[in-house]
Amino acid sequence: MLTRARTTRLMCATLAALAAPVPVIATAETRPLPGPSVYDPLAALVKPGDTVRLSDERRITRWARANEPHPIRSAARTSARTVNRLRFLTEDTLPEVYLVLDGKLDSKGAPWLRIRIPTRAKVRTGWVPADMLSQLFVVRTRLVIDRKAKRATLFKAGRKIWQAPVGIGKASAPTPVGDFWVRERLRGDGGAYGPWAFGTSAYSNISDWPKGGVVGIHGTNQPNLIPGRPSSGCVRVRNDKIKQLARLLPVGTPISIVR
């Protein structure tokens, strides 16, 4: 007999299969952690209260997907305030991605993970029990978008590997500043979004991206507007450069949008 938790997991797997997402790039930059346990970094935690840094969001970043729609807490304990809830899917019905920042043992010695939350809400990090998330994946890339210079730069293990001019949000709908990440990658139809598009964890007050104002990074059918401020929050890249980026930018890559 299936338990409710087991049924939920099966539904999640079915939905993910039906969504037919573009697969995460299986490269050395995106892989499950090595070793007998997917939570190997937590092996350093030996007593309650111990904490380990899992991502510096520059040279190494870990991410995971949700196993269950579990509450996200303000602290690593079941009695802490609920600040959000894990979800299976993005607004585009692709599997959701959570950056994993830290690990910690609670007072009973159970491991918890602190994650970044894709949300418009003010609280954008929280804690969940480690078994509420999938295996951890690793990326060594970082994308920096400089609004003033209107330029995007991709780094791998701290080394610049790609750069391009970009179009950003106009004054009435600016591309937001902050720390975000790549949640999804989609093939475009060659129209307004060009050949490739990436959904991020950033949200704009108005956005070119449908379903909730997600800030996307995508190609364009108006390359003459780049560099500039032609969008409603999204980051536009010329199609030849977005094709290059699609070969280099894995899901889970942290994004720094600076002024």
Q: What is the CATH number of the domain that holds 234?
A: 2.40.440.10
pLDDT for residue 189: 82
Closest CA to 100 of 109, 113, 119, 89: 113
pTM of this structure: 0.83
| Cis, peptide link before residue 195, omega less than 30° from 0 | no
pLDDT for residue 210: 67
CA distance readout (Å), 105 to 40, 48, 82, 136, 197: 14, 5, 18, 17, 38
Angstrom distance (rounded) from CA 246 to CA 117:
24
Say whether both 95 and 61 belong to one domain: yes
Angstrom distance (rounded) from CA 55 to CA 68:
22
pLDDT for residue 15: 29
9 in a structural domain: no
Of the three residues 110, 139, 168, the one that is the final residue of a domain is 139
Say whether both 165 and 126 belong to one domain: no
Select the more confidently predicted residue: 114 or 31. 114
pLDDT for residue 40: 64
What is the rounded average pLDDT of the residues 140-156? 97
Residue with tokens 């520059």: 58
- Residue range 108-143, pLDDT digits in tens: 999 999 999 999 998 999 999 999 999 899 999 999
Q: How many domains does the chain have?
A: 2
- Domain span at 218: 141-258
- Residue range 173-212, pLDDT digits in tens: 999 999 999 999 999 888 999 999 999 999 988 766 766 7
Say whether both 167 and 129 belong to one domain: no
